[in-house]
Amino acid sequence: MTGIPDPLQRAWLGAFYRAHHRALAAYAAALTRSRDEAEDLVHEALVGMLAVRGSIENPEAYAYRAIRNRAFDRLRRVPQREVLGFEAGRSIDGMGDSPADASDSSALQGALASLAPAAAEVVVLHARSGLSFPQIAVVLDEPVGTVSARYSRALAEMRVYLAKEEQHG
């Protein structure tokens, strides 16, 4: 492969970008706590995908995994930075535009923030990004059963949180 992608590769990458950019960027922002860094991670992952496109079995899961790996690589290179962690609220910023959506979004942010970071990550990858449990298992390098169980427990915790909020809100 030359340094310049052929038109078919550019078309494929453009279509992939249009279909997945928003969810990939939200996931990256949740990891980095920075929209600028998130965009950098998404673009780095997509450029990296061009180099190995023919050998990627699941491009969507590959992109999420590449973003996650690059985020942790950046953390290792810059040790004085704040510890990288999953910040669920970043993944749902701007989901709704109406006041009712904003209220729902705020409640959802609170419910996600109440979860352990690993549980929130699974919820966001499944509910926000639309990944299947097998895809999430690839991204997180964990068994599908673990991912499924973590998601189920997280939803139960979120229901309890939201019910309490509704009673007190």
> Alpha-carbon distance 43 to 36, whole Å?
11
Please, what is the average pLDDT of the chain? Answer: 82
What's at 149, amino acid-wise? A
- Asked if residue 91 is part of any domain, the answer here is yes
- How high is the pLDDT of residue 106? 81
- Asked if residue 69 is part of any domain, the answer here is yes
- How high is the pLDDT of residue 127? 87
Total domain count for the chain? 1
pLDDT over 70 (residue 85): no
94 Ramachandran zone, left/alpha/beta (phi>0; psi -120 to 50) = left
Q: Return the percent helix, strand and coil in the chain, to nearest 5.
A: 80, 0, 20
- How high is the pLDDT of residue 76? 79
- How high is the pLDDT of residue 128? 82
- Asked if residue 2 is part of any domain, the answer here is no
- Asked if residue 1 is part of any domain, the answer here is no
62 closest CA partner among 73, 74, 50, 72: 50
pLDDT over 60 (residue 96): no
- Asked if residue 109 is part of any domain, the answer here is yes
- How high is the pLDDT of residue 112? 87
- How high is the pLDDT of residue 103? 58
Mean pLDDT of 133-158: 94
User: Which pLDDT band, with edges at 50, 70 and 90, does 88 fall under?
Assistant: low
pTM for this structure? Answer: 0.72
- How high is the pLDDT of residue 66? 94
Mean pLDDT of 17-38: 90
- Asked if residue 144 is part of any domain, the answer here is yes
91 closest CA partner among 66, 64, 70: 64
- How high is the pLDDT of residue 100? 44
What is the tens place of the pLDDT at every residue in 38-84? Answer: 999 999 999 888 888 678 888 999 999 999 999 988 877 765 444 44
CATH number (domain holding residue 121): 1.20.140.160
- Asked if residue 54 is part of any domain, the answer here is yes
Domain range enclosing 132: 7-168
> Alpha-carbon distance 151 to 97, whole Å?
27
> CA dist 81 to 25, 85, 141, Å?
21, 12, 25
- How high is the pLDDT of residue 44? 94
- Asked if residue 128 is part of any domain, the answer here is yes
pLDDT over 80 (residue 125): yes
